[in-house]
């Protein structure tokens, strides 16, 4: 077989009824036999290993996942293994239900190229309803200032039916919330009273209080705010100096920048405007 120059050239076809000498035979990649041009396909020479490399996938109607058929295995066995193994019916809605634009009467299917997420309400919309007025944007979600645990517990009771244990737990949580709200109200009332006392200047001259930040430059008395300091200067010092020395002009110096003023009111306004309302560093 072959020629003197190519002694190994050509071979007989493996089909019994053919046995044709083909100088350029074909070797089957499944059964490793040699065939002629006519019997080179799997169907023509009835290859027993034709389905070893086939990738046949069936879509499961329960979970919408692909099930690959195993070569040389009964498809019923493969199906039973899938149903009793990794078959998840809840995945069917995720795989088959396509996401649409949430705007009423809009049936646009949301895909990667036409989906826009709103920065305010964090919802995805189509390109036509991407602006806030188009999809009636409600704005950013307000933070829950209450106790989210109570709402979750109430919804659980409504769904599963009220029980004695859950009722007792809900009552305890409600009492804790009421106690916390009462404590916050008392703290707010005490804070408002302290601020009102500081504004009215009730702690004048008390060196033990560290909140008195305004000090009189003549007698050293301390006050909580500038208004109390002005009233003190007008009542205690300005009237006294006018009675004692009517023709004398008093000059007040700023303790921060050493700027002189004839009127103490102008000095106080200067301190409030240029030094942030504090006469001492």
If the chain, 281 residues long, is cut into consecutive pieces of 10 residues, what is the mean pLDDT of each piece?
A: 66 89 86 91 86 80 87 86 88 81 89 89 90 86 58 55 58 74 75 69 47 70 78 73 55 76 80 70 44
Q: Reduce the DSSP state of residue 160 to 3 states and report it.
A: helix
Cα–Cα dist 103/117, whole Å: 13
d(C-alpha 132, C-alpha 36), whole Å: 71
Angle of helix 148-160 relative to helix 164-200, nearest 10 degrees, comes to 160
The residues, any chain, with a CB within 8 Å of residue 45's CB and separated by 6 or more, are 14, 15, 28, 33, 35, 39
- Model pTM? 0.28
Report the chain's C-alpha Rg in angstroms: 46
pLDDT confidence of residue 182:
77
Between the alpha carbon of residue 106 and those of residues 85, 99, 253, the distances in Å are 39, 12, 74
Q: Which pLDDT does position 95 carry in this prediction?
A: 77
pLDDT tens profile 186-215: 777 777 776 776 666 544 444 444 455 677
Percent of the chain that is helix, strand, coil (3-state, to 5): 35, 10, 55
Q: Report residue 107 as tokens.
A: 């049936």
Predicted pLDDT at 152: 58
Predicted confidence at residue 260, as pLDDT, reads: 74
Report the pLDDT value the prediction gives residue 201, as an integer from 0 to 100.
Answer: 57
Q: What distance in Å separates the CA atoms of residue 21 and residue 8, rounded to the nearest whole number? A: 12
- Left if phi > 0, otherwise alpha if psi is -120 to 50, otherwise beta: which for 250? beta
């Amino acid at each position: 077989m072959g020629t003197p120059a190519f002694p190994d050239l050509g071979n007989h076809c493996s089909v019994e009824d053919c046995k044709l000498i083909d100088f350029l035979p074909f070797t089957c990649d499944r059964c490793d036999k040699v065939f002629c041009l006519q019997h080179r396909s799997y169907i023509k020479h009835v290859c027993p290993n034709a389905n070893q490399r086939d990738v046949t996938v069936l879509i499961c109607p329960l979970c919408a996942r692909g099930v690959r058929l195993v070569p040389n295995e009964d498809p019923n066995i493969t199906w039973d293994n899938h149903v009793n193994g990794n078959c998840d019916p809840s995945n069917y809605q995720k795989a088959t239900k396509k996401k649409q634009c949430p705007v009423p009467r809009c049936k646009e299917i949301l895909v990667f190229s036409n989906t826009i997420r709103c920065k305010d309400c964090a919802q995805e919309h189509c390109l036509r309803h991407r602006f806030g007025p188009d999809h009636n944007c409600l704005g950013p979600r307000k933070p829950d200032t209450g106790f989210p645990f109570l709402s979750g517990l109430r919804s659980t009771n409504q769904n599963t039916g009220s029980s004695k244990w859950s009722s007792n737990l809900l009552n305890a949580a409600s009492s804790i919330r009421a106690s916390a709200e009462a404590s916050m109200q008392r703290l707010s009332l005490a804070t408002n009273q302290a601020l009102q006392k500081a504004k009215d200047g009730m702690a004048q001259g008390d060196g033990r209080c560290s909140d008195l930040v305004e000090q009189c430059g003549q007698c050293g008395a301390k006050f909580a705010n500038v208004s109390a300091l002005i009233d003190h200067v007008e009542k205690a010092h300005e009237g006294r100096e006018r009675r004692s020395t009517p023709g004398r002009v008093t000059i007040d110096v700023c303790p921060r920048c050493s700027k002189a003023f004839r009127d103490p009111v102008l000095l106080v306004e200067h301190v409030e405007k240029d030094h942030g309302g504090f006469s001492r560093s």
